[in-house]
Amino acid sequence: MLFCDILRNKTIFVAPLDWGFGHATRCVPLIKNLKENNTVILGITPVTSPILNEEFPDLKKVNIEPYNVNYSGKLSVTLKLVTDLPRILTVIRKEHQQLIALVRDLKLDVVISDNRFGLFHPEVKCIYMTHQLNIQAGIFSWMADRIHSHYLKRFHEIWVPDFKEETKSLAGKLSRSKRLNVLYLGPLSRVPQVKEIGSKQYNYLILLSGPEPLRTVFEKKLLERAEQTMKSLCLIRGTNKPKQVFPKNVTVYDLANAHQIADLIQRSETVICRSGYSTLMDLHSLDKTRVILVPTPGQSEQIYLAQYWAEKFNAQVVNESDLETFCF
């Protein structure tokens, strides 16, 4: 990783967006690398703290303003974010004011923001990490791109967790830009490399993720289909919410650590999951090719990534609206 040679003997503040677990999980390999030669302080919220506390119990942590992004059962993801924009802009202002105090009190040298717009400061090196340089938001793409560009200008560097070579890209056009000077880090995944076993324990591994209430809706739809088959399924729920009654052919984990996730992926013939970018980087890291992607309804980024992975990596795509007729 290039940044291991760029940053040494610095006090670095790293804070991922709390839109699900993905931003926190992809920061794990970056933090592990940086803490070898620097003092690293983490910005956490109730969503990101389980991941970062598990991976880095020894590092200093600071509670920062949560974004508290939730989806709607009625509005599309993009439209929900548009209606939520005034509140999100307030969060951005609050986190920016908090960072000013943190730079002063903690003597920060470098700030690394994973998709948190307010973590910029004129007096210290501020790095913005994202895989989306071209925002996909349907008819609102122009507005999202203008807002994104407005904040990107306030950071000193832009880091992208993807391959520099366009032919190898995992994010496709999302991570490409002709206007910006970008440092491509290569894919970031926290899952360890484990050997792929010959005979599989499960026919399907279901990886659930993302904000509520759509995570729960996705879980219920898949479990309804699971009741119609005798094939062996493993489910990682991505939450510690109270369990319901599960079919006997389904092995259930509420939350799983990186080693468990890697092992279960390799023990399963096929993985069913959302097409979130962090999940896709994990699958790529383990060279998992038998994948069924179910993009979050109305989330243009995931819809694009699912289509891109179908064309580039032969993933199968199933729309959530079609799950009623899906057969395991």
What per-residue string of b and e applies to 24-35 under the rule 16 or more CB within 10 Å gives b? bbbbbbbbebbb
Q: Is residue 194, in this structure, part of any structural domain at all?
A: no
CATH number of the structural domain spanning residue 261: 3.40.50.2000
Clarify whether residues 162 and 238 are in a common domain: no
Clarify whether residues 206 and 174 are in a common domain: no
Tally the domains of the chain.
2
Clarify whether residues 159 and 102 are in a common domain: yes
Q: Is residue 192, in this structure, part of any structural domain at all?
A: no
Clarify whether residues 210 and 179 are in a common domain: no
pLDDT: which is higher, 118 or 255: 118
pLDDT tens digits for range 275-309:
999 999 999 999 999 999 999 988 889 999 999 99
Q: What pTM, to 2 d.p., does this model score?
A: 0.91
Clarify whether residues 21 and 155 are in a common domain: yes
Clarify whether residues 12 and 145 are in a common domain: yes
Clarify whether residues 126 and 240 are in a common domain: no
On whether the CB atoms of residues 205 and 234 are closer than 8 A, the answer is yes
Clarify whether residues 180 and 207 are in a common domain: no
Q: What is the mean pLDDT of residues 32-52?
A: 95
Look up the domain containing 23 and give its range: 3-184
pLDDT tens digits for range 99-136:
999 999 999 999 999 999 999 999 999 999 999 998 77
Clarify whether residues 138 and 210 are in a common domain: no
Q: What is the DSSP string of 3-33?
A: HHHH--S-EEEEEE--SSSHHHHHHHHHHHH
Among 135, 156, 184, the domain-final residue is: 184
Give residue 133's Cα distance to chain centre: 15
